[in-house]
Amino acid sequence: MKANILLNVEVISKNNGRRHGLVKSLVVVDNVVKYLVINPGGLFAKSQFFEPKSIVDVNYKRLIIEDEREIIRIKAKEVKKYLAESFSLMDYPVEDINGNRFGRIVNAIIDSDTFKILSYEISRSFFDDIDNGFGVAEASELIYKNKILTYQKGMFDPDFKAQGAGIANKLLGVR
């Protein structure tokens, strides 16, 4: 499953039908989705998140969890304890092995049973995305350490998997 199917969907409890808010981000630790963060709305709402094993069903409009007791509600100052050594999946910057920033994460392929990330889609630049599409890197090629996501090769030597041509080729037939 693609990671973007889990974002901006309404979280609903199966046991009582209560609506909890929208999923605003995915928290990743060691290439596994650890938590889904809910934006419940409201000015003084506590931080809320839950583990992906709580998901019963998901589609582009809603995400159903078994029971609302599976939602972790904590004060903002306690969030750091839960989310140490993690990063939010979408729009996270990517550097090459030499420390040169060359792209950002735009999506990922997730195993729907284990929530392990199999590969990441990386946007290098707007124009490169139009010409060539996003680059796809295996999860094992990206390492998160010291708050940096590092691609284990040089920026000018990305050995991304072929994802097909970009929008210019698909729509206009440009080569």
Instruction: State pLDDT tens for residues 72-111.
Output: 887 766 666 666 666 677 778 888 888 888 888 888 999 9
Q: pTM for the full model?
A: 0.77
Q: What is the pLDDT of residue 158?
A: 61
> Tokens 């809320």 appear where?
48
Rounded Cα distance between 87 and 106, Å, is 13
Of 67, 87, 107, which closes a domain?
A: 87
Q: Identify the CATH number of the domain in which residue 38 sits.
A: 2.30.30.240
Expressed as residue numbers, the domain containing 140 is 91-172
Q: Are 109 and 143 in contact (CB under 8 A)?
A: no
Residues 145 and 160 in one domain: yes
Of 30, 65, 87, which closes a domain?
A: 87
Q: What is the pLDDT of residue 165?
A: 56
Residues 55 and 126 in one domain: no
Q: What is the pLDDT of residue 116?
A: 95
Which residues in the chain come in under a pLDDT of 50?
A: 175
Of 66, 87, 108, which closes a domain?
A: 87
Rounded Cα distance between 125 and 162, Å, is 17
Q: What is the pLDDT of residue 137?
A: 87
Comparing C-alpha atoms, which of 94, 110, 92 is closest to residue 102? 94
Residues 77 and 112 in one domain: no
Q: What is the pLDDT of residue 117?
A: 93
Residues 60 and 95 in one domain: no
Q: What is the pLDDT of residue 56?
A: 87
Q: Are 118 and 110 in contact (CB under 8 A)?
A: yes
Is residue 63 classed exposed, middle or buried when 0-12, 13-18 and 19+ CB atoms within 10 A define those classes? buried
Residues 103 and 59 in one domain: no
Q: What is the pLDDT of residue 90?
A: 78
Rounded Cα distance between 158 and 166, Å, is 17
Rounded Cα distance between 98 and 40, Å, is 40
In degrees and rounded to multiples of 5, residue 109 shows phi and psi of -100, 125
Residues 131 and 151 in one domain: yes
Residues 54 and 95 in one domain: no
